[in-house]
Amino acid sequence: MPRRSDTKETVLLALELMRRIPRKRTITAKELHEQLADSEHGRDLRTIQRQLEMLSEHFEIERDDRRKPYGYRWKECAQGMALPMLSEQESLLLTLAEQQIKSLLPASLMKTLDGFFLQARRNLEPYHQEKGKREREWLKKIRVVSTSQPLLPPKIKPGVFEQVSNALYANQWLALDYENASGKRTKANVMPLGLAQQGPRLFLVCRFEGYDNERSLALHRIHAAKASTLTFDRPKDFDLEQYDNDGRFGFGEGKKIRLTFRIEKATGLHLLESPLSEDQQVVELDDAYEISATVVDTAMLDWWLRGFGDAVWDVRKMAIREDGAT
């Protein structure tokens, strides 16, 4: 019985390693050992090395032994880890997920999922005849649309996203060469705490070394990034969701206000369907709505109000104390 259990564990480890071996780059035994460290497949480095040697002998996996540590990858002509068990519905779900999460997952993790995404796309390709026809059509029937003027995403310099996302994933210090909106260039070590997508732009939430407050840095303004081998303990007092709720991505400081304004009926109808807050109140007047809601005071709120032009007037802001009183 113990032997059967050991055999099962060996097979599962081999399958997990094959799934994680990339096609377009090499990966070392140490990198795979680190990826598996916190999973149920975690093993010592020597075991990983032996498994890779065995896999490279029996499967279409090439070993780059020109220098140490050796690198492993699937050969160009190899099928890799084909996933015939994926149904058309599962392939559709994976294809949609790839489109939405590719900028929000660490680059190293996205690469380990390449095999799944590739197989999902192949399952939905036209040459499959009738198989998956409705699923392929579904991709043309749905779309995520912008609520503002569509903009092209700013270009992020090569290697920056990979270094930032991997350091964020592994809780590693990050060395940055950053240029702010005013053109001031700064080199600093930062503690990466969060990654957020706001429209077409990506922002890194971090703490500069020696400081205890958070800042948001636009990834496209980072000239260079390098993840350190030094790790840090993630601050227990930081919560990315609360950071967002405080309006920090809208250039605010977390100060809540009671906002009141009047808006033309035709322009403000959508606010009856999509309110500003849970406690929003609406008073219907002859030609307008009077809207009152508790919101975070931010520069983005001011931009939003100004965007209505003359259709919004009588704007009032009342500060809210910590006890909830205005």
* Domain boundaries, position 110: 88-139
Question: In DSSP terms, which residues pair with 175 in a beta bridge?
Answer: 189, 226
- Please indicate, yes or no, whether residues 193 and 262 belong to a single structural domain of this protein: no
- Please indicate, yes or no, whether residues 69 and 7 belong to a single structural domain of this protein: yes
Tokens of 95: 């294809």
Q: Is-contact 120 128, C-beta < 8 A?
A: no
271 pLDDT higher than 90: yes
Q: Which of 10-14, 167-171, 178-182 has the lowest mean pLDDT?
A: 10-14
CATH of residue 287: 3.30.70
Domain count, the chain: 4
Q: Distance (Å, rounded) from C-alpha 29 to C-alpha 44?
A: 10
Task: Give the CA distances from residue 301 to residues 20, 129, 198, 266, in Å, rounded to whole numbers and listed in that order.
Answer: 45, 51, 15, 20
Q: How much is the average pLDDT of 183-196?
A: 94
Q: Distance (Å, rounded) from C-alpha 291 to C-alpha 235?
A: 39
Angle in degrees, 0-180, between the axes of helices 29-36 and 45-58, rounded to the nearest 10 = 120
Tokens of 110: 């996205």
Phi, psi of 78 (to 5 degrees): -75, 150
Give residue-wise pLDDT tens across range 107-119. Answer: 776 776 776 777 7
Give residue-wise pLDDT tens across range 295-321. Answer: 999 988 999 999 999 999 999 999 987
The predicted model scores a pTM of 0.62
Share of the chain above pLDDT 90, in %: 42
In a domain, 145, yes or no: no
Q: Distance (Å, rounded) from C-alpha 192 to C-alpha 24?
A: 28
In a domain, 58, yes or no: yes
- Please indicate, yes or no, whether residues 229 and 273 belong to a single structural domain of this protein: no
Task: Out of 73-87, 138-152, 219-233, give the one with best mean pLDDT.
Answer: 219-233
- Please indicate, yes or no, whether residues 205 and 224 belong to a single structural domain of this protein: yes
In a domain, 203, yes or no: yes
In a domain, 233, yes or no: yes
